[in-house]
Amino acid sequence: MTLAEKIGQMRQINASDGYPPDWLGDELRAGRVGSILNNVDVGMVNEMQRIAVEESRLGIPLLVGRDVIHGFKTVMPIPLGQAATWNPDLIRDGASVAAREAATTGVNWTFAPMIDISRDARWGRIAESLGEDAYLTSELGAAMVRGFQGDDLSESGTIAACAKHFAGYGAAESGRDYATTNIPENELRNVYLPPFQAAVDSGVSSFMTSFSDLDGVPATGNAFLLRQVLRDEWAFDGLVVSDWDSVRQLQIHGLTENDRESAFEAVTAGVDMEMHGDAYANHLESLIEDGRVDIATVDASVANILRIKFRLGLFENPFTDPDSLPPIGDPEALETAEQLALQSVVMLRNEGGALPLSAESMNSVAVIGPLADAPIEQLGTWIFDGDRELSITPMHAIHTLVGHDIDVRYLRAMETSRSHSTEAFDEAVEIASETDAVVLFLGEESILSGEAHSRADISLPGAQAELVRRVRATGKPVIAVILAGRPLTLTDIVDDVDAILFAWHPGTMGGSAIADILFGRQSPSGKLPATFPRMVGQIPIYYNQKNTGKPPSPDTVVHIDDIDAHAPQLSLGMTAFHLDAGYTPLFPFGFGLSYTRFEYRDIEIGSDEIRLGESLLVSAELANVGDVAADEIVQLYVRDLVGSVTRPVRELKGFRRVRLEPGESARIEFTLHTDDLAFVGRDMQRSAEPGEFHVWIGGSSEADLQANFRIVADD
């Protein structure tokens, strides 16, 4: 290969404008393009592949990239919603459907999964994440990789996955997208890096660098991340792509003086391909000629790119025949989307058994709110190709389910979720007063979350809380169904509704899933993948915090309203809490209610002591003591009481989705190896340490069924 052809492989060009075979043809013939993105017209893509393969000197096919984040035409719940299923197999199936549909257009590379640990609900991109926990994100992210890539990357209908954003992007200050991240190396290795290592272990094809810096060095120029950790420690042999124009943005960060220096920093740090930028095209050749960049560096990057093209089978078959793949929106795709939506819904409140609604005992129901019949809004963020015509809205699904048996009275009430107008609220009150129950569809429009859509106030926007209060005053049962791209602060409404279903942005089949849960055809089974704060000032609040030297407890909390006037200046409570919010969240990680009642009993451990390198069996009995068959997500947590570095108060180490009939019980077993209890210590090496441990099994991170064991050192 000539140097120009090598540099060409390192360029990714946005091909979304006009007819790219015309304006991009000469570049393709000259071998100066390695990848295109954002073109999903199969005819255009095939023609660009034809030019690259048949009219360039070397005939190297193109990588064709697209953001296929949570579905293609058939849209699955947002990733954060999928995480609420705690179901790796189903998440794998959803990614597989997305891959098949995207592949019909010639796309062979997606920029997913996003596996940034996200502890700040203000951050718009928490919607794309799998939540706040490294273990859950690792398991579910690896499942997504397997779904996109299948068992053989060269098979029809598979596409290359991309683990992003490497690394620490989810820790952006104040939840502001693109902002600085400051993460000590120990925290980076124990919390933020494990999902990426799990992606490598699952065979992920590519990595994308983060927009943000990391402790002063932007990720796109960070050799510690890209060479030391990714290549040397993890032996990753796929390709690394920059995020959109992030090479040239090194100058804007203040790391470099100009685009030439940005190209130098990025390529030497280990970025193989530049997405939508021309720093490499304009400056790599001169940097090599000047001796600043070794040709071996470029050769290694090109090899990484070509390796993925070979694994995709593009040299044997670069062209796409849509007829060889299942049709868009086929029954399997829609069923997968519906199951993901169904299992993602989290019931946060159900006072007095307000849910499920009974179609047999009701004459009428009011369906009110801006998100009840909004086919595009339920799809969520990053759905460039989502087909709104496939959407089954909650309003449509409720009508279909109840038929003529129940009078369904519908009112939008607000033009958008952000509207401050209360003009229609009198009509909403009138309708509510005339019906047996009210279902309010509230939350955020899809545009309020996602990239560059961070919020400082994460309460219900607009006049929604006022709508709740007005309807509540009718005295009728009020059920809130919330569609949103992030955890919200619900303190303003939680006591004014009888039940809350948190449905995230549930995707194409969200309406059917919600209707089935509302009317008891299915029991809600989702569990929270992220903590819900009482108020935004508690952020960051997450379950696996450190204990501190002054941990809070119920008897040490002092509320601001209980402080006497002119009280002496004392360290009230002497522990870590907020005077106006306490120390507990509104809803904890792992929480979710059901239409039945599950009891956990009789935790057992195989031994009180194990040695390093051994395993321990932990089990408990789960019983369905209610009247409804339902799924429960059984969760296993541990605490390492003493470590060479301080350890979290709890850490998720296992989970299992179990279905039980009424009256049925089962003993649920988990195997813990001492490697599962390893962590990165002061020496930045990962190992398990002898000492005392607590272990819990239960239905949330607040599980109280506990046992104790000890790891003993080898003699």
Catalytic site residues?
243
Q: For residue 109, what are the CA distances in angstroms to 77, 158, 241, 276?
A: 20, 9, 12, 15
What CA–CA distance (Å, rounded) separates 305 from 655?
A: 37
What CA–CA distance (Å, rounded) separates 14 from 72?
A: 19
Q: For residue 623, what are the CA distances in angstroms to 110, 628, 700?
A: 42, 12, 16
Contact 84/513 with Cβ under 8 angstroms? no
Adjacent-strand bridge partners of 686: 680
Handedness of CA 503, 505, 507, 510 (dihedral sign): positive
Q: For residue 138, how many other CB atoms are within 10 A of its CB? A: 21
Q: For residue 563, how many other CB atoms are within 10 A of its CB? A: 12
Contact 692/590 with Cβ under 8 angstroms? no
What secondary structure does DSSP assign to 269-310, as a single string?
HT--BEES--HHHHHHHHHHHTTSS-HHHHHHHHHHHHHHHH
Contact 245/277 with Cβ under 8 angstroms? yes
- Comparing CA positions, the residue from 265, 275, 217 lying closest to residue 244 is 275
What CA–CA distance (Å, rounded) separates 60 from 44?
A: 17
Asked if the peptide bond before residue 134 counts as cis, ω within 30 degrees of 0, the response is no
What CA–CA distance (Å, rounded) separates 695 from 250?
A: 45
Encoded tokens for 301:
């990057």
137: left (phi over 0), alpha (psi -120 to 50) or beta: alpha
Encoded tokens for 649:
């108060």
Residues 6+ apart with CB under 8 A from 612: 674, 688, 690, 711, 713, 714
Tell the residue number behind the tokens 């120029």, with chain if given. Answer: 221
How many helices (H) does the chain have, and how many strands (E)? 19, 26
Residues 6+ apart with CB under 8 A from 190: 134, 679, 680
Q: What is the DSSP letter of 708?
A: E
Per-residue buried b or exposed e for 172-191, using 16+ beta carbons within 10 Å of the residue's own CB:
beebbbbbbbebeebbbbbb
Handedness of CA 420, 426, 429, 430 (dihedral sign): negative
Per-residue buried b or exposed e for 388-400, using 16+ beta carbons within 10 Å of the residue's own CB:
eebbbbbbbbbbe
Amino acid at 461: P
